[in-house]
Amino acid sequence: MNPSSRSGTRAGRLGAYALIGATVVIVAAAFAYVGGWLSPHRLTPARLVDQLQTNSGVFPGYRRNHAKGVCVTGYFQSSGQAAAYSVAQVFAPGERTPVVGRFAIPGGNPYAPDSSIPIRSMALRFALADGQQWRTGMNDMPVFPVSTPQAFYQMLQAQQPDPATGKPDPQKLGAFFAAHPETAAFLAWAKTATPSPSFATVSYWSLDAFQLVDGHGRHHPVRWRMVPDAPAGAPETPVGGGAGPGGSPDYLAADLRQRLAQAPLRWHLLITLAQPGDPIDDAAKEWPPDRRSVDAGTLVLTSTQPQQSGPCRDINYDPLVLPHGIEASGDPLLPARSAAYADSYLRRTSEEAHLPGYLPASLSAATKPDSRP
Amino acid sequence: MSNLTEQFSPAARVLHWLMALMILTMLFIGVGMVSTVSEWHSRLVSIHKPLGIAILLLALVRLAVRLRRPPPPLPADLPVPQKLAAHASHWLLYALMIAMPIIGWAMLSAGGYPVMLGTSFHLPPILPADPVAFAILRHLHTWLALLLFLTFLAHLAAALYHGLIRRDGVLSGMVGRRGQAAMQSRGRLRAVD
């Protein structure tokens, strides 16, 4: 067979090569576009996490946000009252589900004093008997400052410390809040908020809405919160004080150890049902206080472990790890949290694995280094 | 006129085109879902996992089909380097279409995630939870996905080269009889002009 009979004229052959080249280039370009390489302004999970690192510094092996925390373990005892709204096994009457949790404070610095920020967080992983899981991350405030991942990113940019002062530029922060009226509810809360001296005495809100799915397939938009049995105790430390109760900047973990040495700690899981018209896709908006809540059961925490060696260390508390019977709402923060947490998780596990291109984690040395920014 | 009698079996052709669509979709879903914080992230992740397992199952069926009925031989006059490249790239494609879903499954297992294929159906873990294994497998998943995409591009270019330039029946053997007829008629048209 003679090659020229296959490919036709010289011009035809060149045309065929050009067609092949163009096809490959178009497919590759589409791939690059979908991957975000051609859109430098797209908000990607990596960009979000990069900004967290810019604001707080890089602490190998630690979470990029809520870096300072402790592990807790216990179980959730279902009351059965939520079973009418959700088929999730965790809500079945009498069901007891093991829980690995984590208390933390926001920010990327695992050595920040507990009093440096007035917010506390609780993350939980319920390991359901059917092999499914429910993971949730909650804060002790009823609303989130912003409604969208883009606004959250802009808030992080406004909070970026000024190299001259080491603190955020008040003008930039002011400009951000002025441009984002949806932050009003959060700012009103922040005005009166003080850093709790204990993880055990505060309520933790889901912030984002979710949907419970019942046995008939009906969807019930909800938010939930964990309400403590423990009463609020000693007067609280003002923000900015270097040390809290006991003179240690790490008083939260000490308080938790002390309390758990005496008795388990309990919270009630209150699930609030939305009424038609309530914002179910906007974590910056509160729901009216008269909404009906169901007491789904009791969270019982029995022990605590340091996060460097505890069972919570390698858990990514991705709020979209949900069992059958609980689904995401349309809240745009949820997929952003899921995507950014995955990125943070890959960074810190890569550091633990001492992979090339990553700073090696020093988590096994559980002691605090002498000099840290 | 080329020798166009050699065809892939109908089963091989159906599997090829179905899986081509699935794997290409999968590559775009994978690269898209990790680069967005929009609602597409969760939507794509929830397709990625069951689609990956479907590809794994089909790849095993396809391997069995291929071993039972080997593909038509390459044209005898194909230069040896091209023959080697053709064989190597095909075995690489098979290896990756089987390895990628298994790595994804192992990676989620090592990360301690439940391997959910739907709202309630899930697979058991195939590795114990281990952050070091997770990190290595997660990176491997990305790099092998890029290798799979590059191999796909080479495969696409080579298929078009066989169909448009060599016109040696390799592409029509996979396109089918209608495609074969089209190729022949184009060859005739070319011969006329």
How many whole angstroms separate alpha carbon A93 and alpha carbon A77? Answer: 9
Asked if residue B79 belongs to a domain, the reply is no
Q: How far is CA A184 from CA A178, A179, A189, in A?
A: 9, 11, 9
Beta carbons of B113 and A321 less than 8 Å apart? yes
Residues of B in contact with A340 (CB under 8 A): 37
Q: Is B104 left (phi over 0), alpha (psi -120 to 50) or beta?
A: alpha
Query: Taken in order A160, A119, A296, A75, is the CA torsion positive or negative?
Result: positive
pLDDT at A239 > cutoff 50:
no
> Distance from CA of residue A62 to its chain's centroid?
14
Residues of B in contact with A27 (CB under 8 A): 153, 156
pLDDT at B79 > cutoff 60:
yes
Beta carbons of B38 and A16 less than 8 Å apart? no
Mean local confidence (pLDDT), A265-286: 97
Contact A314, A125 (CB under 8 A): no
Our CA-based measurement puts residue A252 at a distance from the nearest CA of chain B, in whole angstroms, of 27
Q: Which residue from A350, A373, A310, A281 is spatially nearest to A72, judged by alpha carbons? A: A310
Candidates A24, A348, A355; nearest CB to B139: A355
Q: Which residue from B125, B155, B98 is spatially nearest to A27, judged by alpha carbons? A: B155
Residues of B in contact with A212 (CB under 8 A): none
How big is chain B, counted in residues? Answer: 193
Residue range B32-56, pLDDT digits in tens = 999 999 999 999 999 999 999 999 9
Beta carbons of A349 and B114 less than 8 Å apart? no
How many whole angstroms separate alpha carbon A359 and alpha carbon A371? Answer: 17
Model confidence at A290, in pLDDT bands (50, 70, 90)? Answer: very high
Asked if residue B78 belongs to a domain, the reply is no
pLDDT at res. B179: 53
Class of domain A69-331: mainly beta
pLDDT at A351 > cutoff 90:
yes
Q: Which residues are bridge partners to A303 per DSSP?
A: A73
Domain map (residue ranges) of chain A: 11-42, 69-331
- Residues in B 46-75 with any Cβ partner in A closer than 8 A: none
Q: Match 């291929």 to its residue by tokens.
A: B66
Catalytic residue numbers of A read 66
The token pair that represents A301 in the structure block: 């925490």
Beta carbons of B165 and A323 less than 8 Å apart? no
Burial label for B78, CB within 10 Å (0-12, 13-18, 19+), is middle
Residue range A14-57, pLDDT digits in tens = 999 999 999 999 999 999 999 999 999 999 999 999 999 999 99
Model confidence at A125, in pLDDT bands (50, 70, 90)? Answer: very high
Mean local confidence (pLDDT), B92-119: 97
Our CA-based measurement puts residue A114 at a distance from the nearest CA of chain B, in whole angstroms, of 27
Question: What's the first-to-final CA gap in chain A, in angstroms?
Answer: 74
pTM reported for the whole predicted model: 0.91
**Three-class secondary structure of residue A38 per DSSP:** coil
Our CA-based measurement puts residue B120 at a distance from the nearest CA of chain A, in whole angstroms, of 5
pLDDT at res. A73: 98
pLDDT at res. A247: 66
Question: What's the first-to-final CA gap in chain B, in angstroms?
Answer: 16
Output the 3-class SS for A191-240. Answer: HHCCCCCCCCCCCEECCCCEEEECCCCCEEEEEEEEEECCCCCCCCCCCC
pLDDT at res. B177: 60
pLDDT at res. A232: 78
Q: Which residues are bridge partners to A301 per DSSP?
A: A74, A265
ipTM given for this complex = 0.91
Question: Which domain, by its residues, includes B45?
Answer: 10-72+88-192
Contact A92, A40 (CB under 8 A): no
Asked if residue B83 belongs to a domain, the reply is no
Long-range (24+ apart) CB contacts under 8 A made by B5-10 are B6/B72, B6/B73, B6/B169, B6/B173, B7/B72, B7/B173, B7/B176, B7/B177, B7/B180, B8/B71, B8/B72, B8/B173, B8/B174, B9/B65, B9/B69
DSSP state of A242: S
Beta carbons of A45 and B34 less than 8 Å apart? yes
pLDDT at res. B22: 98
Contact B48, B30 (CB under 8 A): yes
Domain count, chain B: 1
Burial label for A15, CB within 10 Å (0-12, 13-18, 19+), is middle
Instruction: Give me the half-sphere count of Cα atoms (radius 13 Å) on the Cβ side of residue A316.
Output: 31
pLDDT at res. A373: 38
